[in-house]
Structure formats: structure tokens, C-alpha cells
A = this chain, B = another copy of it.
Amino acid sequence: MTDNAKYDQMAVIMKAMAHPTRLFILDKLSEKEHCVCELQELIGADMSTVSKHLSVLKNAGIIDNRKQNNQVFYSLICPCVLDVYQCVIEVNKLKKY
């Protein structure tokens, strides 16, 4: 399999996005930045769980964060993530069951 590393790197990013909660987070962040507690409220899971999802996205290089007082605000780095959404939605529409 040629150029192994290329696909490994891509898989890291895709894997980071491949979770319902993380897709939800990205969707929210595409509108505006949010702090962890806002996202936790919207998601309804344990704060530590939300924090871990955020760090997965951060490590993959998809989102960034900034600290303001004792809150951490997360934001989307690359808006092209929305293109991915479009494609996935299209694949779903074409799907035969």
C-alpha cells in the first residue's frame, strides 16, 4: 500500500469526526465558538466526557481553543468541515436500504 502515512494521517482526522457527539459539537462550533459548559449543557453527558471529545478534535487539528477567565472556548479551525457534512448527507440520501 503506497504512501501509507498519508492515509494514516487522514484516518486520524476522519476518526476524530466519526462520532455522533463530536459531529454535533462541530455543527455547533460552525455557528460560533462555545465554552465547554455550554456544550455540556447541549449534549447532556458528563463534563469529563465532553472534555475528552473536545481534546480528540483538538489533537486531530480540527478545532482550537482559547482561555478566558476560567472558561475555555473552542472554535472551528477549518470551515471546510461543513463540506464534509454536505457529502455525508448526500451519501445518506443516495443510500438504498
Residues in chain A within 8 A of chain B (CB atoms): 1, 4, 7-11, 13-15, 17-21, 23-24, 27, 42-44, 60-62, 77-78, 80-81, 83-92, 94-96
Can you pick out 16 interface pairs between chain A and chain B where the beta carbons lie within 8 Å of each other? A1-B42, A7-B20, A7-B24, A7-B27, A9-B92, A10-B88, A14-B14, A61-B91, A61-B95, A61-B96, A62-B91, A78-B91, A80-B86, A80-B87, A83-B83, A83-B84
Complex: A88 Cα to B88 Cα, angstroms: 14
Complex: A21 Cα to B4 Cα, angstroms: 9
Q: Is the CB of A78 within 8 A of B87?
A: yes
Q: Is the CB of A88 within 8 A of B13?
A: yes
Having A1-B24, A14-B88, one finds 20 other A-B pairs with CB under 8 Å, namely: A1-B20, A1-B42, A1-B44, A7-B24, A9-B92, A10-B89, A10-B92, A11-B23, A13-B88, A14-B14, A14-B19, A15-B18, A60-B91, A77-B94, A78-B90, A78-B91, A83-B83, A83-B84, A83-B87, A84-B88
